[in-house]
Amino acid sequence: MSGDSHGGMRDLLGAYALDMLEPGRRAAVSAHLDGCAACRAELGFVAPAAELLPLADPDRASALPEPPPELGERILAGVRAERPARARAWRIRGPVAACAAALLVGFGAGAAAWHAAFVPAPVPLEGVATTAHDDGISAEAELVPHTWGVEIRLTGTGFREGRTYRATLFDGSGTAHPAGEFVGVGGDRMVCNLNSALLRQDAVGFEITDESGEPVVSSSF
């Protein structure tokens, strides 16, 4: 039976390292290992990857990954060890290749979990009414209530090309809070994110003023 040949034993080393063989087959591999230095060396290569395989468990994908710091070194060491026998490596190292692929899949899922845990979900935009005080300008605005302050997402046309405009938010007492500046681009549609340290619950309106300090757009909310 081909499974009992040297080549057949090599194909079973991955499952052997993972302790996934039925007892009879496991005993046959053990007996072969006793008398075959090549297969013992192969097992030495497979076993470290098998130890790391639990990291690829899909049930762990929701937990934050803790990649062992030595993993990269192990993979590199395996690649280096494989290099002299490269001509036949891909034929005899099937189980190793399967382990490596499983590990990479596991870390991909871990990265997705990390992304979900640390990248904030999109926040709802709050549309607010605007009034343009310049015939050439049209503008729309939405607010983003960040934890560190309110952001104005201003979309508009007609802000004069090359001119500087200044955004100011106001709190309930009428105090001005700077929310940044931008340069007009004329007739092209412009989308501008203007940030302020004033919190959303304290903000009651904003103004966009031109270089002379005259308001060209205002909003109350």
**Residue numbers of the site for Zn ion (CB under 5 A)?**
6, 9, 36, 39
CB of 71 to Zn ion, least distance (A): 28
Between 92 and 102, name the residue whose CB sits nearer to Zn ion: 92
CB of 81 to Zn ion, least distance (A): 17
Between 36 and 132, name the residue whose CB sits nearer to Zn ion: 36
* Backbone conformation region of residue 19, classed left if phi is above 0, alpha if psi is from -120 to 50, else beta: left
Spatial CA neighbour of 100 closest among 127, 79, 70: 79
| CB contact at 8 A, 145 and 126 | yes
| CB contact at 8 A, 207 and 131 | no
Alpha-carbon distances, residue 119 vs 64, 115, 122, 124, 201 (angstroms): 13, 6, 9, 15, 24
CB of 39 to Zn ion, least distance (A): 3
Tokens of 157: 């046309």
Between 6 and 189, name the residue whose CB sits nearer to Zn ion: 6
CB of 16 to Zn ion, least distance (A): 12
CB of 14 to Zn ion, least distance (A): 14
Residue 191's identity, in one-letter code, is V
| CB contact at 8 A, 198 and 169 | yes
Between 39 and 208, name the residue whose CB sits nearer to Zn ion: 39
Between 35 and 174, name the residue whose CB sits nearer to Zn ion: 35
